[in-house]
Homo-oligomer: A and B are copies of this chain.
Amino acid sequence: MTIYSNIGKPNKRIDALDKVTGGAKYIDDLKLPGMLYAKIKRSKFPHANILHVDTSNAEKLSGVKAVVTGKEFAANFNNPVFGDPLADQPFLAVEKVRYIGEPIAVVAAISQEIAEEALDLIRVEYEQLPTVLNIEDALKCDAPLIHEDSKNYKYSPGFKPTENTNICRYIEITNGNIEKGFKEAAFIFEDTFTSHSTHHVPMECRAAIAQFNPDDSITVWASDQSPYGGRNLIAAALKISESKVRVITPSYIGGGFGGKLRLSGSMPIIAIAWKTNHRPVKIVLTREEEFTSTTIRHASIVKLKTGVKKDGTIVSRYAKVMLDTGAYADRGPTVLGKATGTSIGPYKIPNVKVEGYCVYTNKAIAGAYRGYGNPQVCWAYESQMDIIANKLGIDPIDIRLKNMVEEGYITSTEKQEAHAVGLAECLIKVKEDISQKREEKIIENRKRGNGIACSYKISRTPSGANAFIKLNSDAGADIFVSSIEMGQGVNTIFAQIVAEELTIPFDNIRVLPADTDITPFFPASTSSRTTFFLGNAVKKAAQDIKEQLFKIAMDILEVDKEDLALERGSFFVKGAPEKKLKITEIMEKTYPGGISILGRGTYYHYKLGNLPSHVKVGIPPTLVWMYGSQGVTIDIDTETGRVKILKISAAHDVGKAINPVTCEGQIEGGVLQAVGNAMFEELLFNEQGKIINSSLLDYKIPSALDMPEINPILVEEPHREGPYGAKGLGEIVMVPTAAAIAIAIYNAVGIRIKDLPITPDKILKLLKVN
C-alpha cells in the first residue's frame, strides 16, 4: 500500500479562512468603473405572442442609460439563439413568450432602483395563446405547439427534436429481446413513479456583469459553474470566435448544484451590455427571479415494467421516462440521456427497452440539477425493487446483491464496461450500520421502519481537462484550473495533489479562480467530474514539474534517477541521506537570477468504442461509474403523518478519499439536499403555470433543525484511471435517498408512496385507505 503524505488526509480547507472571515469575494462584491445596473422586464403570460414592446417612456427616465428589447437584439445579431445540445432559446423573447417570467426587455441604469422603476414604464402588448402545463398534456396529438419551428433549430448530432410535437428529445434504447425477457419472467411488475419540480436554492442568487469591449470582444463576470461552457454558448449564439468571449468567475460562487450552468438565467445581461456603449452592466437576480426564471429540477413520470424470475433474478425491463423540461430545452435532452441510461439501476438486466421523452411545457425551464436525472429514475427503480423483494419474499439486500453489476460486465443500456464496482461493499456496510439497534424509545402512535436503496451514476464523456502549475522559487505553487470552488472543496483537493507530488508545504499552494483567458480548459464543474478528470490533469502537471526538478537534481548530485528520492521538499541520495538538496536550493543554484518551474497537464477520457482512430490509449477507457447505497431509519407518527428521520447511513464508493473530511461534507450536504427534495421542497404552479411559492418563506428547505443524524461511510474501490484511484462523489450522494425514505415508510406502516414529495397529508391519506 502506498503511503501518502497528503492524499487521504483531512487537510484543512484552503478556503476556510476566506469563508469565516468574510474575505471571500462574490460577484456582487465586484464594482467596475462606470458600471451600470440592469433589471429585466419579464413575461406575465405563460404563452403569448408579443405584439408590441414600447420602451420609450422607460428610456426617458432620468438615470436610465439603455433599454434593449428582444427584437432589437435579434435583428442586430441575426436571430441569436443559444442552447446546447439544442439551440432553442433567445437572449430575450422576440416573437412570443413561452413561460411566465421569460425575459422580454432589459433596462440599464445608474442604480438598481432606477432600473426597477423603469420596468414599470415598459408597455408590452400580448396576444395570449393556449398553454400546456404538464407532460401528459404536452404529449397529446392536438397539444398547442410551444416551439412551432423546432425542425429548424440547430442541434448536436443525436439531438434532433421531434417535428411538430412538444418533444424536444426522444430516446429509445434496446438490449437483448424485451418480449422474450418478459416471457421468461415468473412475475411482471408494473408501476409508475412521479417526481416534482424543485429548485437548487443556492445561497447566492445568480449574478453577472457583462461588458462589450472596443475590440468587439465580450467580457462576462459571472457566478457560474462552467465558464468555458458559457463562453462557447455565447460565442456560438452570437456567431463570433470563442476567443472573443471571456468568462471570469470570482474566487467563489455561493452554491451551484447544476443550476449556475452556462449563464442560465443570466443571459439577458449580454443583450443589454451590447447597448451600454462599452460600460459594464451588472445584474443580481432577486430570490423571486432566481426561483421563477432560472432553471429548476425536472418533474418526471417514470413507468417501469419489470420481469423477474422466482429466485429474484431480473430478466427484463421496459422503462418509459418522461421529463418536463419547461419552455426551453436547456440541458433537458442530456438529462434525459442520463436518466434513460441508468433507468435499469446498477443491475444486470439482459433484456431491456427504454423510451425517453423530454417535453416542452409553458413553465419555468428545467435544467441540470445535482444528480442529473438519476434521482428521478432511482426513485422509481429502487422503489420497485422493494416492491419486488416484498412480493417475492426475498431480503431486499439479497435481491440487490443477486442482480448487481460486477467488474467487467457490459451494461445493457450504456453498453459500457462496469469497473471498480464498490456497490456491494457499500450496501453491506449500510446494512450493518442501519440495523444497529437504536436506543430511543418508541412512543405511542409512532412506528419505526428501515429502508435501503442503491444507486449509481456516471460522468459525462468524452471529457478533457487541462491544468497549469507554476512553482515559485520559494517552493510555493499556483494551480491554474477552470474548476469552480462552490463549496465542494475542490481547491483543497488540488492543493493536496500538488503537495503530494512535489512534497511541498500545503499552505504555500494556491488555486486561481477560473477565467477563460487564463485558466485552461475544463468543460464545467458538473457531472461529479472534477476530482477524477481535473485531478488527473493537475497530477500530470505536478509530475511535469517533478521531472524537471529530478533532472536538475540528478545533474547537481551526479546520480541516476533510481538513486534519488524526493521527500518533504528535498531530494536526497538513497543510501546517503546526507547528500541532500532542497527544491529551493535546486532553483537557486541553477537559476540565480530567479525562475518559476512550469508544469502543464492534460487529461482526456473517451467513451468506450468512441475513440478517434488515431488516438491510442494504454487502458481501454470506460465510463467513470460512481456507486453508493443509503439506509434510512424513520419514525412515523400515524396520527399526523409526520415522518422523523432518525438516521441516514450513506456509504459511497469514492475510489480513494483524497480528503475524507470534504468527502464526508459532500455526503452530509447532498443527503440533506435529497431529504429536502424528498420531503420539504416543491415548486408550486398555479393554473397559469406561475410559480406561486417563489420565496424562502413559502418554499421550504431543510434547516439545521431538520438535519437528521447522517453517518457517511467511505468505501474505496480504486478506479484504475482515477488520481490515486479517486472517483467522483458530488451527485451520487443525493440519488438513492428518496427511495430509501419511502421504503422505510413502507417498512414501518405498509404504505407505498409513488409520488414525490413525501408529505404528511399523502401519508395520512394512504394510511386511511389501508
A residues adjacent to B (C-beta < 8 A): 17-18, 21, 23, 25, 29-33, 213-215, 228, 232, 235, 241-244, 278, 460-464, 466, 468, 470, 472-474, 476-478, 480, 508, 510, 512, 517-518, 520-521, 523, 544, 552, 555-556, 558, 589-602, 604, 612, 614-615
Contacts and interface: CB of A to CB of B under 8 A. Distances in A.
A210 to B, nearest CB: 15
B473 A593 contact: no
Given A242-B473, A462-B591, A473-B521, 5 more contacts: A228-B594, A464-B595, A520-B598, A521-B595, A590-B615
A269 to B, nearest CB: 19
Contacts of A472: 242-243, 521
A595 B604 contact: yes
Contacts of A478: 517-518
B243 A593 contact: no
B33 A29 contact: yes
Contacts of A558: 614
A598 B512 CA distance: 17
Contacts of A508: 241, 243
A476 B228 CA distance: 14
Contacts of A596: 466, 520-521, 602
A463 B594 CA distance: 7
A215 B19 CA distance: 11
A680 to B, nearest CB: 35
A25 B520 CA distance: 24
Given A214-B21, A517-B510, A614 B598 contact: no
- Residue from the set A29, A32, A33, A614 with the largest chain B CB neighbour count within 10 Å: A614
B598 A600 contact: yes
Nearest to A604: B591
B555 A464 contact: no
Contact of A480 (B17, B215, B518, B544): B518
Nearest to A235: B474
A199 B444 CA distance: 90
Contact of A33 (B25, B235, B556): B25
B518 A243 contact: no
Q: How many copies of this chain does one complex carry? A: 2
Contacts of A468: 468, 470, 480, 598, 600
A716 to B, nearest CB: 27
A33 B24 CA distance: 12
A445 to B, nearest CB: 52
Given A595-B466, A602-B598, A242 B518 contact: no
A56 B18 CA distance: 33
A283 B470 CA distance: 30
Nearest to A476: B243
Contact of A470 (B464, B520, B591, B593): B520
A523 B593 contact: yes
A24 to B, nearest CB: 10
A510 B516 CA distance: 12
A213 B15 CA distance: 12
B214 A593 contact: no
Contacts of A17: 214-215
A379 to B, nearest CB: 29
A636 to B, nearest CB: 46
Contacts of A520: 470, 596, 598
Contacts of A600: 468, 544, 598-600
B278 A23 contact: yes
Contacts of A215: 17-18
Contacts of A518: 470, 478, 480, 512, 518
Contacts of A278: 21, 23
B517 A464 contact: no
A11 B52 CA distance: 48
Contacts of A544: 600
Contacts of A510: 243, 517
29 contacts: A17-B214, A18-B215, A21-B278, A29-B33, A31-B32, A232-B594, A241-B476, A242-B476, A243-B476, A243-B508, A244-B476, A461-B593, A462-B592, A464-B591, A464-B594, A468-B468, A468-B470, A468-B480, A478-B517, A478-B518, A480-B518, A521-B594, A523-B593, A523-B594, A555-B614, A556-B614, A590-B615, A591-B604, A597-B602
A219 to B, nearest CB: 11
Nearest to A213: B23
Q: 5 shortest A-B CB distances, which residue pairs?
A: A243-B476, A598-B600, A21-B214, A462-B593, A555-B614
Contact of A595 (B241, B591, B602): B602
A244 B598 CA distance: 19
A400 to B, nearest CB: 33
A589 B25 CA distance: 39
Contacts of A521: 472-473, 594-596
B243 A474 contact: yes
B242 A474 contact: yes
Contacts of A614: 552, 555-556, 558, 589-590
A353 B213 CA distance: 58
A602 B612 CA distance: 33
Contacts of A477: 243
- Residue from the set A32, A461, A470, A558 with the largest chain B CB neighbour count within 10 Å: A470
A555 B460 CA distance: 26
Contact of A214 (B18, B228, B480): B18
A581 to B, nearest CB: 11
Given A556-B614, A614-B552, A614-B556, A23 B214 contact: yes
Contacts of A470: 466, 468, 518, 520
- Residue from the set A595, A599, A612 with the largest chain B CB neighbour count within 10 Å: A595
A32 to B, nearest CB: 8
- Residue from the set A460, A598, A601, A604 with the largest chain B CB neighbour count within 10 Å: A598
A558 B614 CA distance: 9
